[in-house]
Structure 1
């Protein structure tokens, strides 16, 4: 199955979050067709989780909870990590979701055992 263009996928994620009552927006827009995406979920208490794309053993897209590793969940650390990643990848998209419940609204599986 062919994957959606990044700008379309990002719009759908933002819409899912908004429908559920969360705020979501694009912090940084990368390549509209095939840029990678980081999804930051801020819980408005100086904590955040960061999700990045990966592939499982079958080649299907999954998301890694990057905060489950050494990155942790301090929002300032997450923001610094995102800043460094953006410097190295101008095509990178960054989507931020603000949700006190910490929901990510990703439809693909999320692996929380990621180690950085």
Structure 2
């Protein structure tokens, strides 16, 4: 029997609430398929650059955030190019932009996802 999965829209809404609870500014910059769109985080470090993270399911069924831009923040144009490439492959993606000078993923430990 497979594990039930939350719908993408609910995941994004939960992410917005988590950011609000942590005092971080977050905005949905792209809405995808309510049920099954892949969720991406665009973390804006407010100067040093951006990081794109994708929520991906591992082979064992667990969820993990994977960097799509590498370990070092990239310019916004590069981050947007990664998201555009993903959108061309799957037009149903969700993008949640989070502003955090430290570049933290506020949802890393909140795997209610």
**Using the alignment, how far apart are the partners of 1:82 and 1:66 within structure 2?**
9
Report the equivalent of 1:73. 73
TM-score, L = length of structure 2? 0.83
Report the equivalent of 2:58. 56
Residue 81 of structure 1 and its aligned partner are, at CA, apart by 0.9
Partner residue of 2:43 out of 41, 47, 52: 41
Map 1:1-116 to 2 at 5 A: 1-68=3-70, 72-74=72-74, 75-106=76-107, 107-108=110-111
TM-score, L = length of structure 1? 0.81
- Aligned-pair Cα RMSD in Å: 1.6
Residues 46 and 76, structure 1, Cα contact 8 Å, conserved in 2: no
Shift >3 Å, 4+ stretches: none
- 5+ unaligned residues in a row in structure 1: which ranges? 109-116
